[in-house]
Structure 1
Amino acid sequence: MDLEPVASTDLGVLPGKNAEYGTREYWEQRYTQEPDSAFDWFKTYADLKPLLDQHIGSKGARMVVLGCGNSTLSSDMYRDGYENIVNVDYSDVVVGQMRQRYKHQSKMTWEVMDVRALALGDGSVDVAIDKGTLDALMCDGGDVWEPSAELCANVGREVSEVERVLAPGGKFIWITFGQPHFRKRHLERATWTIEVERLNDGGFDYFVYVMTKAAHC
Structure 2
Amino acid sequence: MEQKPTASTDLRVLPGDNAEYGTKEYWQQRYMQEPDEVYDWFKTYADLKALLGQRIGSKEARILMLGCGNSTLSGDMYDDGYKDILNVDYSDVVIEQMRKRSQHQHMMRWEVMDVRELALDDGSVDVAIDKGTLDALMCEKGDVWEPSAELCKNVGRMVSEVDRVLAGGGVFIWITFGQPHFRRRHLERQSWTVEVERLNSGGFDYFVYVATKSQRR
- Would you say same fold, with TM above 0.5? yes
Q: Which residue is equivalent to 1:51?
A: 51
Measured against aligned partners, the alpha-carbon deviations of 1:82-129 in whole angstroms (never above 9, x if no partner) come to 010000000010000000000111111000000000001000000000
Q: What are the equivalent positions in structure 2 for 1:1-217 lying under 5 Å apart?
A: 2-4=1-3, 9-10=8-9, 12=11, 13-217=13-217
SS state at 1:212 partner: strand
Q: Distance in 2 between matches of 1:106 and 1:60?
A: 16
SS state at 2:210 partner: strand
Q: Distance in 2 between matches of 1:74 and 1:6?
A: 22
| Counterpart amino acid of residue 67 in structure 1 | G
Q: 1:151 to 1:27 in 2, by over 3 A?
A: same
Q: 1:8 to 1:41 in 2, by over 3 A?
A: farther
| Counterpart amino acid of residue 106 in structure 1 | H
Q: Distance in 2 between matches of 1:11 and 1:101?
A: 21
Q: Tell me, which stretches of 5 or more residues in structure 2 are unaligned?
A: none
Report the Cα offset of residue 6 of structure 1: 8.9
Q: Distance in 2 between matches of 1:184 and 1:134?
A: 12
Q: 1:121 to 1:5 in 2, by over 3 A?
A: farther
Q: Tell me, which stretches of 5 or more residues in structure 1 are unaligned?
A: none
SS state at 1:88 partner: strand
SS state at 1:25 partner: helix
Structure-2-length-normalised TM-score = 0.97
SS state at 2:172 partner: strand
SS state at 2:122 partner: coil
SS state at 1:40 partner: coil
Report the Cα offset of residue 142 of structure 1: 1.8
| Counterpart amino acid of residue 182 in structure 1 | F
Paired residue total: 216
Q: 1:196 to 1:85 in 2, by over 3 A?
A: same
| Counterpart amino acid of residue 81 in structure 1 | G
Q: Distance in 1 between matches of 2:64 and 2:142?
A: 29
CA contact (8 A) 1:64 1:125 kept: yes
Between the two proteins, what is the percent identity of the paired residues? 74
